[in-house]
Amino acid sequence: MQTQKDQFFAALEAAGMPPVPDEFSVVPWYQAISPRILEEIQVFIRTFEDVTTRPSWQEAVTAAAPAIAQHPRPEVCFFSAWDFHLPPDQSWQMIEFNDNGSGLLFAALVNDRYYQIFDLFQQAALQPPPAYNELTERIIASVKQEVMAFFSHWPQGLFLILEDREALQGGKFRHELILLRNLFRQQGWRAEIAAPGEMGWDGQQLCWEGETVSFIVNRSTDFLWEAEVFSLLRAAYEAGQVYVAPNPFTYATRSDKRLMERLSLSDWDQELGIQPQERAILSAHIPETHWLRPENVEELAPRKEEFIFKPAQGFAARGLLASTKVGRSRLRRLLKAGAGYVAQKKIPKSPLHGERSIPLWTDLRVWAYRGQILLLSGRASSRPDRLDLSPPGGWISTYVRCSKTPS
């Protein structure tokens, strides 16, 4: 007889996810978030949006950026994701922001299918999540809003989902790109998935297999398009001929991890235009972060136990250095090698409570578009000090408690 867990995993695969748990790990349990915390996070995200879209901020943080990242662009990513830790003995903290946050469609499926199969509607203490179809409708509405803000009329070219070749061949989220492509096609839009090296140039327009490209959902982790394979995309982007989100400008003004220093510390507030009420919110919920520079090595090295060290352009915990592997010599070698790193104050994760014999620790991922929250999700790690999503860890259903439930 098939258990609820088996039904859950089968339903995810039937909906288009890779086989669970063999290829994509999902925890057959859930976490619940206080409505008070969600309200506070909504205020925080709007504050983040106000600060990072302000001309004074954008001009200051792009002053030393590569030329391609210095010119303002209107695109706004519909899959922007904020990652939070909710430690049990202190206020929640934003660990990082991702303009390139994978998992939006997968997370919507996980929340929706788990809620249905495990009959959580019988638990009045939980608010129902957005149905998967509701979430996809909001995505389409966001894309339409982006299109109409960028183009003078509806474009006739392709909607292209761009991803690095290696990720298309074996990445965990390649199935999500298929779901997104199919969602676009259901609207009657011509949509394809491609790697940067597959694009062409017809002398005037960016192309894919002879068709003009108009709208690009960029999933590449070469955030500044520095590789030669991006040369045609760079040319079309700089000419303003194609919509691309995220792009080097959104990376330089929003998701570069070095920006966390200026968001967490008040030293640059006057230059950046950060207001006192905004500073109070940012400082309360962003851990102390320092961009590693020659002048602060002597200050950070004695305090290394307080910090985790992250590559500025890293993703999926790649290049993460524990404090036990860091000292003055290691920090100086990183600087000499030109490896951009930030030191961020350690923030504990929340232990997962429930019918679990093996301890897991969770984070919270919040997707929002133009300041409005789209979806909640989370990852449960088998390690408290880093993101390890191998079983028994994995992505986890995430819901909001009803307001009458104690926080």
Q: How confident is the model over 169-224, as pLDDT tens digits? A: 999 999 999 999 999 999 999 999 999 999 998 878 999 999 999 999 999 989 99
Distance CA 269, CA 275 (A): 7
| 229 phi, psi to nearest 5 deg | -65, -15
**Do residues 109 and 175 make contact, with C-beta atoms less than 8 angstroms apart?**
no
pLDDT of residue 363: 97
Distance CA 334, CA 291 (A): 12
Instruction: State the chain's mean pLDDT as an integer.
Output: 91
Q: Which CATH class is domain 288-345?
A: alpha beta
Sign of the Cα pseudo-torsion (369, 372, 375, 376, in order): positive
pLDDT of residue 323: 65
* Residue scoring higher pLDDT (324 or 28): 28
pLDDT in tens, 70-86: 999 999 998 899 999 99
| 144 phi, psi to nearest 5 deg | -60, -40
Q: For residue 390, give the nearest of 399, 381, 377 by alpha carbon.
A: 381
DSSP H helical segments within 152-213, as ranges?
Answer: 165-170, 174-186
pLDDT of residue 339: 63
**Do residues 308 and 320 make contact, with C-beta atoms less than 8 angstroms apart?**
yes
CA 395 to chain centre: 14
Name the DSSP letter for residue 349.
Answer: P
Q: Quick check: 261 pLDDT over 80? A: yes
Average pLDDT over residues 43-56: 97
pLDDT of residue 52: 97
Helix, strand, coil share (%) of the chain residues, nearest 5: 40, 20, 40
Cβ neighbour number for residue 324 with a 10 Å cutoff: 9
Average pLDDT over residues 124-143: 95
Domain extents for the chain? 1-33+101-129+372-402, 131-245, 288-345
The CATH code of the domain at 131-245 is 3.40.50
Banded model confidence at residue 313, pLDDT cuts 50, 70, 90: low
pLDDT of residue 1: 65
Q: For residue 391, give the nearest of 404, 382, 401 by alpha carbon.
A: 382
* Residue scoring higher pLDDT (352 or 141): 141
Distance CA 236, CA 228 (A): 14
Q: Quick check: 140 pLDDT over 80? A: yes
Q: Token digits for 351? A: 């232990």
* Residue scoring higher pLDDT (406 or 366): 366
pLDDT of residue 296: 84
pLDDT in tens, 325-372: 676 777 777 776 666 888 899 999 999 876 566 889 999 999 999 999
Q: Quick check: 321 pLDDT over 90? A: no
Q: Strands (DSSP E) along 249-297, which ranges?
A: 289-291
pLDDT of residue 331: 73
Banded model confidence at residue 388, pLDDT cuts 50, 70, 90: confident
pLDDT of residue 54: 97
pLDDT of residue 338: 63
Distance CA 103, CA 140 (A): 16
pLDDT in tens, 196-205: 999 998 878 9
pLDDT of residue 387: 85
pLDDT of residue 311: 82
Average pLDDT over residues 46-64: 97
**Token pair 């136990």: residue:** 305
Helices 4-14, 104-117: axis angle to 10 degrees equals 140
